């Protein structure tokens, strides 16, 4: 027996796919081999009202130096705002926090900038 349900989209993968058209982007975990610069996408919460989800998504830009890490992080926000006008899933993007240097204790050899965005998307239907 199957049923049709309403559920949230996999926002990490939706954001990763939108970014991947223009830059290297991954969800967790990062692969063992990767090239810099890159953006790591991770969900950080959210809420639902009616059939609309508002997700908080963290974008971590990694590079060999601070200037590149900052630039790819800021560019990722711009790409997502562009996607809000062109992507069928992403409806609205708002920068929640500005890009800031954010040291990574696991990779102190890399520069990392972090920003968070609010991404609005409609709930999807699925048959299970």
Q: Are 70 and 113 in contact (CB under 8 A)?
A: yes
**Is it the case that residue 117 has pLDDT exceeding 90?**
yes
**CB contact burial 14-31 (16+ within 10 A = b; e otherwise):** bbbbbbeeeeebbbeeee
Residue 18: its pLDDT value, please? Answer: 97
pLDDT, position 119: 97
Q: Is the peptide bond before 37 cis (omega within 30 degrees of 0)?
A: yes
User: Structure tokens of 76?
Assistant: 């990722």
107 has a pLDDT exceeding 90: no
What was the pLDDT predicted at 106? 83
Confidence of residue 51 (pLDDT cuts 50, 70, 90): confident
**pLDDT confidence of residue 78:** 98
pLDDT value of residue 20: 97
Q: What is the pLDDT of residues 11-20, one digit of tens each?
A: 999 999 999 9
pLDDT at 50 over 90: no
Q: What is the pTM of this model?
A: 0.92
Q: What is the mean pLDDT of residues 9-31?
A: 96
Whole-number CA gyration radius for the chain: 15
Q: What is the pLDDT of residues 58-88, one digit of tens each?
A: 999 999 999 999 999 999 999 999 999 999 9
When pLDDT is averaged across residues 44-55 and rounded to a whole number, the result is 92
Angle subtended by helix axes 66-86 and 11-20, to nearest 10: 110
- Three-state DSSP at 127 gives strand
């Amino acid at each position: 027996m199957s049923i049709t349900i309403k559920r949230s989209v996999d926002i990490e993968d939706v954001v990763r796919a939108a970014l991947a058209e223009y830059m290297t982007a991954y969800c967790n975990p990062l692969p063992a081999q990767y090239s810099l610069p890159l953006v790591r996408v991770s969900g950080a919460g959210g809420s639902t009202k009616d059939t609309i989800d508002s997700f908080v998504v963290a974008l971590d830009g990694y590079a060999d130096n601070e200037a590149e890490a900052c630039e790819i992080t800021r560019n990722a926000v711009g790409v997502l705002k562009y996607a809000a006008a062109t992507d069928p899933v992403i409806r609205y993007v708002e920068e929640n926090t500005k890009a800031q240097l954010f040291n990574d204790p696991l990779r102190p050899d890399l520069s990392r900038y972090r920003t968070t965005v609010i991404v609005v998307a409609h709930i999807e239907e699925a048959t299970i």
